[in-house]
Every structure is written in C-alpha cells, then in structure tokens.
Structure 1
Amino acid sequence: MGARRRGDARRSRLRHRQGGGVQDPQPRRQADRRGGGDAGRPRGAARDPGEKRAARLRQALRRPLRRGVKPGDRADRRRAFRRVSGGARLPAPLRAARRLRQGIAGFAAVMAYLAGWNYILCALFITFDVVARSLLGFSSAATTEVTGYMLAGGIAWSLAHTLARRAHIRVDVWVNRLPLRFRSVLHLVSLLLLFGFALFCAWAAWALLDESLLFEAHDNSALRIPLALPQGIWGFGILVFCAMIAALVLESVLSLLLGRAGELDRLLGSRTLEDETAEALEAVEMAREGARPPAEAPPGLKRSLSA
C-alpha cells in the first residue's frame, strides 16, 4: 500500500508540473508515414500482393542455390565476379575475342527468332493442308517435302543460339564436382571435340550443296523445288554454328592462358541454379511489367526482383 501511495503521489506531482498531462517516459515509436506502412518500413515499400508473391518466389528459387556447391567454387566465383564487376580492364586480345563472340551471338539470336517463326509457319501450313484435304477436297501435294525443309532449316539456324545460351543437353554430374582448373580444361576439350564434329557436318553439307548445284537437282514433289535452296539454308546454319564454336574456342583459350578459369567455367559450364533463378526472376519481372503500365509498377517490386 505504501508503494502504491508513493506512485500516486509521484503521478500527481508530474500532472501538476505539466499542466494536467502525464508524459510517458518511454513513448512508443511512431509509424513511418513515408511508406504508408509500419514503423521502420522503407519508403515506397507498399503492401502489394504482387510484391509478396515475387518475394516468396525469390525465396523459393534461391533456397536450393547453395546445395551441392563447394566452398572453393563459391570463392572462385566471387573472385571472378570482383574482377569483372570491379572495373578491371581486360587484356586487349581477350576483349577483342569477347566482342567477336558477342557479335556472333547477337546474329545467332536473330537467326533463332527466324527459326521460331519458321516453326509457326510450318504448323500453320500443316494445319491448312489437313483442313483443306478433309473439308475442301484438295491438297498442296507437297506438305511432306516443304515441312521437312522448314524443320531442317529451323534446327540448323537455332544451333548457334542454343550453344550461346548453354541450352544443349549435357550430363555433368561428375564434372561439376571436380576442381575449377581441371573442370575448365575439360570444358575446353569438349568444345574442341564439338568443333571437330561441326566442321565435319559443315563439310558434308556444302559437299551435298555443290553436288546439287552441279546436277541441278530438284525434289520429287509437284513444286519441283531446287534442292540447292533448302540445302543452302541448312548449310548456312551449320556454318554459323561453326563460327560460334570458333569464337568460343578463341575466348576460352585466351581465358585459360590468362588464368581466368572462373570466367571460362561461366562461359562453357552448364547452367547453374543461379542462372536458372536469374532467368526465372527476369521472366517474372517482364510479366509484371507487361501486366501493368510502367508508372503503376511499385518500386519495391523492382528492388526485390533485382536484389
């Protein structure tokens, strides 16, 4: 009772000194109104359902990133990233080889887009021929030959872009567990073997084209298409594929000689979980930007996706 009375007397004295109001010795933290949210919430971080979904997707994709990765690989990747992003100037030969490879990769990307539209036209042509044969009673009489040429040309024109994007199927369960230096050498050896096979395919393709031009060969369809036309398109795709491999070989050899094994591993190694995660996050960001006008996109979402 004595302690309670002393407390009441203290509060009455404080009330008398402050004019009837009691001051809290430890006031509550006021909410930060800059972001319209809770206390300590950063500016612009609005409560957006899309932002929450993007954050959950980012956490779910990045959770398995560190599984199965050796500490030495992490250190090598960090050192390579610091060399590239820290403004270190590349040697002139390596810089020229990288520009050559990027130029061929850009041209190969255009060829891959054309190959994709070629597949769409092929599907439309087959659909039209089937519908016309079933309902209208006529056919083009050249569906098999023309679509075969289109498919062969589309495959050949997409080879270089597939290699540049490291999208070829490979079995690398054992290779990824090797030391970085040895793994980089194996990447280069496999690329050289692929280069030899691609050169053989290019030689065979252009030998076939030369023979078709010599004999003025045509196909057996009603259209009588000169075989040199589809064979030339097919051979050109294989030739660009060889040029892409040659540019990669040049840059890889220079990187290995200059002691940049980490860059060679990123250039020729299989796609990692980090690459897949970055591509998935980029696709989410592109979908979000296409779903709403740029002015309405919350800045917190862009920061969370680019983090």
Structure 2
Amino acid sequence: MRRALDMLYRAAAGLAALCLVAILVMVAVQIAARLLDFALVKLGLPPTRFIVPSLAEISGFLLGAATFLALADTLAKNVHIRVDLLTTRLPDGVRRVVDGIVALLGAGVSGFATYAMAALALKSLSYNDLSYGMVAVPLALPQAVLALGLLILTVALVDEGVLAFTGNDRITGGGASV
C-alpha cells in the first residue's frame, strides 16, 4: 500500500512538472516569435505576426493544474511549510495525536473542496461551458484536473493522519518549519 500511495503522489507530481514544461514551451515559442518578428522588421522584411493563441489563459489553467497536482507529493515529502511552534514543545505521543487530528481535519476540508470542485466540473460539462479566449477550452477540463489534485491531496492527508496516529509520521523527519 505504501508503494502504491508513493507512486500515486509521484505520478501527480510528474504531471505537475509536465504542466510547467508546457507553460515553458508555449512562452518560449511566443518569445521566439516576437524576437523573429523584431529581426525581420529590422531587416526590412514583413513580420510573421505569429502568436500562441490564448497563451495567458491556457498557461493559467496549466499553472492551476501544476499547483494542485503537486500538493500531495510535497506533503508526502514533508516540504510544506509547517508552523510548529506549539507541536515541537509537546511530548512525542501528544504531538502525534495533534498532528493526526490536524491531518484528518485538513483531509475533511480537502475532501469537501474535492466534492465542490468535482460538482463544478460536472456542472460545467453538462452546460458545455467554454472559456472566453481565442481557443475555447471546455472549462470542465481544468476543473476536473483541480478536483483530481484535491482528491490526491485528500488521500495524502488521510495517509499522514494514519501515519501520525501509528507513530510512523514523516513530520519529525525534517521539512521546512516556521
């Protein structure tokens, strides 16, 4: 089970990385096209006027996807910033219980957000909602990806809660603290 969960978190992080690479490629193509047009104009030639349609909008969708898909992996690797002024002063047993309760409360909030985002995606799908950019993107697609990221985060939070209650938590293993 541990291997399957870690693979799920890594796969989501891999998809997040691919989203960031897609943003990089689109922006690089747009910049290259602008530089080419500048050079062509300086040489007295007509510019290509090439643009990446809906660049800002699609980049926004990809950034949202990257953010939400990476949440579970960063939680599992204990690289989220944690405010632990109180919990570091607690005895280990009490700290584990507090960490477990907090993780399960977070799972509840994340679970509700997952439900709400999935319901929004289904509603957008039923109404055939489209974005307003030059490229009409069905809004259910980015919404579904956000719901998937939230679902994986919910699983990771339940996982962290279970690990904390069983004394196998990764919280004491390091990570950013405040």
TM range (shorter): 0.7 to 0.9
Structure of greater relative contact order (alpha carbons < 8 Å, 6+ residues apart): 2
The correspondence for 2:15, drawn from 114, 121, 130, is: 114
2:73 paired with 1:172: no
> Which of residues 210, 213, 227 in structure 1 aligns to 2:125?
213
User: How far apart, CA to CA, are the structure 1 residues paired with 2:29 and 2:81?
Assistant: 33
Q: Secondary structure at the match of 1:182?
A: helix
State which structure, 1 or 2, has the greater radius of gyration over its C-alpha atoms.
Answer: 1
In the alignment, what sits opposite 2:45?
Answer: none
The DSSP-based 3-state class of the residue aligned with 1:192 is: helix
Give 1:21's aligned residue. Answer: none
Is 1:269–2:171 an aligned residue pair? yes
Q: Determine the C-alpha separation between the residues in 2 that align with 1:171 and 1:125.
A: 37
TM-score by length of 2: 0.83
User: What are the residue-to-residue correspondences of 1:213-292 with 2, within 5 Å?
Assistant: 213-253=125-165, 255=166, 263-264=167-168, 267-272=169-174
Q: Retained in 2: the 8 A contact 1:175–1:183?
A: yes
Equivalence for 1:145: 57
Deviation at 1:168, TM superposition (A): 0.8
Let me know the Cα RMSD of the aligned residues.
2.0
**In the alignment, is the contact (CA less than 8 A) between 1:105 and 1:244 conserved in 2?**
no
Equivalents in 1 of 2:54, 2:108: separation in Å?
35
- Residue 195 of structure 1: aligned partner: 107
Pick the aligned partner of 2:33 from 110, 132, 142: 132
Structure 2 CA distance for aligned equivalents of residues 186 and 208 of structure 1: 33
> What percent identity do the matched residue pairs reach?
25
8 A contact 2:69–2:150 mirrored in 1: yes
Please report how far the alpha carbon of residue 268 of structure 1 lies from its aligned counterpart in structure 2 after TM superposition. 4.4
Work out the number of aligned pairs and report it.
165
> 1:170, 1:270 within 8 Å by CA — same for their partners in 2?
no
| TM-score, scaled to structure 1 | 0.50
Output the amino acid matched with 1:118.
C
The question of whether the paired residues in 2 share the 8 Å contact of 1:212 and 1:228 is answered with: yes
**Whole-Å separation in 1 of the counterparts to 2:14 and 2:172:** 23
